[in-house]
Amino acid sequence: MSVEASIREKARELGFDGCHFTSAAPPESRERLDDWLQAEYHGEMAWMARRVERRHDLQKVLPGAQSVIVLTLNYFPEGAKSDESAESMSSSASDRPRGVVARYARYRDYHKMVGKRLKALAEWLPSLSGVDVRSLPYVDTGPILERDLAERAGAGFIGKHTNLISRQLGNWLFLGEIVTTLELEPDLPERNRCGTCRKCIDACPTEAIRAPFQLDARRCISYLTIELRGSIPEALRPAIGNRIFGCDDCLAVCPWNRFAQEGNMMRDYRRYDLDQPDLLELLELDEEGFYRRFAGTPIVRTKRRGLLRNVCVALGNVGDQSALPHLERATQDPEPLVVEHAEWAIKRIRERYEPLLTGM
């Protein structure tokens, strides 16, 4: 068995859905990254502009690097519809308003699970060779262009929504990489297979996909509800709907999702209570309650003030008059960010319902 075949077998044993190889040569998208940063499409994600030279050159990440092992992990949930959008997920038998959480966040935080297995694979690599092997594993945590490397390794192609699409698994994918000094036979790169399709562009509620393969993160709902620390621009709040953490709409409409399968590794880490959380219940969370509810999930990234900001926006968009007492209490919150968005939500609800009452 070849070294590459042995690594693939070990990766499958560890629960990964795909294992691909590419060289440690500089990524071809270096100029596109520089242009994207120059346009300030990264918004407040200042870390994207730091250590750019490492994103350009893997030798600055790991001197002597020869190869990159790209691991893919599917997180498509059992029983879900491959084209399920935020609108189709928001319906509920309950008359209480519900929120939508991006699919990847309806599990325990994948960084720890994937990182543990990547580390195990990296530590196993020296057993394949008599020479010293140095390796660095990454799970969306280091200055490397992982989607570009994944495309070059044949794991998938970067779609017009700028996410990776696998012909075998669709685009519900987590990525992990191991940069290594071990020399491996590279796989053939994947070519783009979007064709004339523009479903992801048309589906974006905020028109964040400015052109094919060009995302303005400042307008992306995932950025607005997760990465942005301050106020959400008022002009974009109505388009957020009832999304309170991330957005899957551009992913959900991709035709390649017809091949999506249930993910193996993530199955045991599903958080079913995050499928359609009760917005009014979330608005009542104090600091301790927030961390007790979301500890170990990606949602802690927003902190309490960020999540409650998002909940207020969602209630302003989908809530009725029954939400007003809850929002009134939120205007007394110690966090000014929550107060501001609660006041906006109250105004939105009153604008919707007071004309109906006066017209009766």
Amino acid, res. 109: D
DSSP helix, strand, coil percent of the chain (3-state; round to 5):
45, 15, 40
Burial track 9-38 (b if 16+ CB lie within 10 A, e otherwise): ebbeebbbbbbbbbbbbebebbeebeebee
303 to each of 105, 115, 207, 273, 337, how far by Cα in Å?
14, 23, 27, 18, 12
Q: What angle do CA 168, 204, 293 make, to 5 degrees?
A: 80
Of the candidates 321, 317, 305, 322, the residue with the CA atom closest to the CA atom of residue 353: 321
Rg (CA), the chain: 22
Query: Whole-angstrom Cα distance, residue 88 to residue 7?
Result: 40
Alpha helix segments (H runs only) across 174-299: 199-203, 221-222, 237-240, 249-252, 279-283, 287-294
Cβ atoms within 10 A of the Cβ of 117, count? 21
Residues 279/314, Cβ–Cβ less than 8 Å: yes
140 belongs to the catalytic site: yes
Q: What angle do CA 142, 144, 145 make, to 5 degrees?
A: 135
Residues 137/115, Cβ–Cβ less than 8 Å: yes
Q: Which of 34, 140, 275, 278 is catalytic?
A: 140
Which are the catalytic amino acids?
140
